[in-house]
Structure 1
Amino acid sequence: MLDHMTHLFRLQVIVAEGSLRKASEKLNVTQPALSRSVAHLETHYGKPLLERHARGVKPTPYGERILNVVQRMNRYWAIAQQELDTEWQDANVRLRIGAGPTWQSGALTRILLELQEVFPNVLIEFCAIRDGNVISDLANGRLDVAFGGAFADAATNQNLIIQFLTGIELQIVARESHPAFGRIALGGELPEDIALDYPWVTYSELEILKDTATYALAERLGRPPQIRMTCDRIASTVALVQQSNCLTVLPDLAVSQALSPALVPLPIKLKSATLPLGMLFRKELAEWPPVKFLTQRCVETFDNTN
C-alpha cells in the first residue's frame, strides 16, 4: 500500500512539474524510477494516465480523476498528521471555507471569530465559491467546507455531508430612513403602487434569486418597477440602497447583517419559495475538531434564529 501511495504522489509531482526531468530534480529520484512508477499505476488501473507532448507531459482524463483523489488524500494527510503529532496544537493548519454571496454578507462572521478563538492556530481561508465548481473543489481538497444553497447536485455523493441550516426569503427593502416608511397607513400597510414611485437596484449575482425576485415583483406589484441599476455583488447592492432612495429585493439573511443605516423590509410581502441554505463538507472531516466545532455552532446559531 505504501509503495502504491508513493507512486501516486510521484505522479502528482510529474504532472505539477510538467515533465519527468523536472520531477526527477525536485524529488531527487531518477527518471527511470519515475517512469516505472507511472508504468506501475497504468498497469494497476488498466488505463493510460499521461499524454506525452513536445513540452513534456499532461494527464489524460482518467489521470485527472486519479489526481483529484490524490489531492484530497494529500489534504487529509496534512490534517491527520497534525492531529497525530503530539505538538499538533502548536502547528498552523488551514481550514478552507468557501461561501456563497448570502453567507459572505456577514452571517458567519461571529461564528468564524469564535472558531479562531477556540483554535488559534487554525488559519481560516474564507473565499467566494466558484459557481459550478463547489463539488469538485471539495472532492479534491481545494475546499474543506462550503456554505451555499440547496446543493442538489451533492445529494447523491456519498463522500459528502450536507447539513441544512436555515432558509432564506426574499424581501423588498429600503434604508431605515427611506421616505416610503412615512407613507405607511395606520393599519401598517403600504399600497403596492407606492413602491413603483422609487428607483430600483437589481441584485444580479445569482440567477435563481434574480429570476425569483423578478417574477415575485411582477406578480405583487402588477408591473415591473423602474430599474436604475443592476449590481452583481451583494455588498455593493446593500451600499447603494443604504445611500439612496432606491429599493431592492434581497435575501432576509443578508438584510439582517446590514447596519449603519440598517435595511428594513417594506410591509409588502412577496410570494416566493424559501430557498434552503446549509453547509457541505467531506465525510472524513466530520470528526476533525475545527469542522466539528464549526458545524455545531452553525446548527446552534441558526436553530435559534429560525
Structure 2
Amino acid sequence: MRRRISRWRRSLRQMGVGLVFVAISSGLWYAQEQEYRDQLSWMGVPTWESLTPTSLHRVLRNDGFLVGWSDVRVNPLWVSYTLHAVEDPRAAPRPDFQRDWRTLWPITADSYFGSGYDRGHLAPNYAIAVVHGREAQRQTFLMSNMSPQRPDLNRRLWQRLEAAVIDHFVPRFGSLQVITGPVFPEGFMNNVFNRVGLVEVPEAFYKIIVVPGAEPRALAFIMPQEVRGDEPLDHYLVSIDEVEARTGLNFFPNLPEAEAVRLEGRVHAQGWGLEEVARLPGRFD
C-alpha cells in the first residue's frame, strides 16, 4: 500500500513538473509570437468588427509579412508588412509559386489555370525582397499570399500602386506600414459561387499605407477588378473608415480613439506627393 502511495506521489510530481514546463514554454512562445507580430503590424493586427464565419481568420506568420487567412473565403482577408529605405535595393529572380500547407484547402500553383484571373500578390514580390530578403521573397509566392485579380488590375493599376509605394513613398518617408487585401460583395451568399476553383473572387482590393510617428499620416485606396489599368491612382483614394465598412475589419485596433477618428475618418493626401506618381506608366505599359 505504501509503495502504491509513493508511486502515486511521484507520478503527481512528474505531472506537475510537466505542466510547469508546458506553461513556461507556451508563455515564451506567446511572447515571441506577439513580439514578431508587433514588428510587422503597427498598432496591432487587424481584427473583425463582429465575429461571423466570413470574418473569422487565422494569422499565418511569414518572414517579413503576416497573413490573415480565411478558410471560408479561401483568401487572405488582410496582409500586413513594413517597409523601410535600403541603400542598395535589389531583388533576386522570381521564385516559383508554391502551395502553402498551412491552409485547410489545397490551393496549388495551377489552381487559377484557365480562369482568366492572375495570381495576384498581396505582399509584393519586389518590395518584400529588397527590404526583407530572399527567404521572405520566396514566401510571397506561397498561394496563401494570392488572390484572383483581373490582368489589367494586377499587371497595370495594382502594379503601379505597388511601385509608387516602394519607389516613391518609402524614400520620401523612410518607413511605412502597409495593410492590403480583398473586398468582397456584401452578403456572402451573393458571391459564394463566384470562385476560381475553391477560391472566392473579390470585387475589389484595398491598400492602406501609414507613416507611423507621433502624428501618423495615412492613405487608403480601393481598386475594383474592372479597370483599364491606366487610370490615375488618386481616383481610387478613400478613407480608412470606408475600407473598414467594406471589409468588416478593424484596422489599428490599439490606436487611441481620438487619433483613430483623425487618421481614419478622412482622405488627406497633402504631403504625400501622390500627384508626382499618380499618372506614371506601369512596368508593362
Scaled to the shorter chain, the TM-score interval is under 0.3
TM-score (norm 1): 0.22
Normalising to structure 2: TM-score of the pair? 0.23
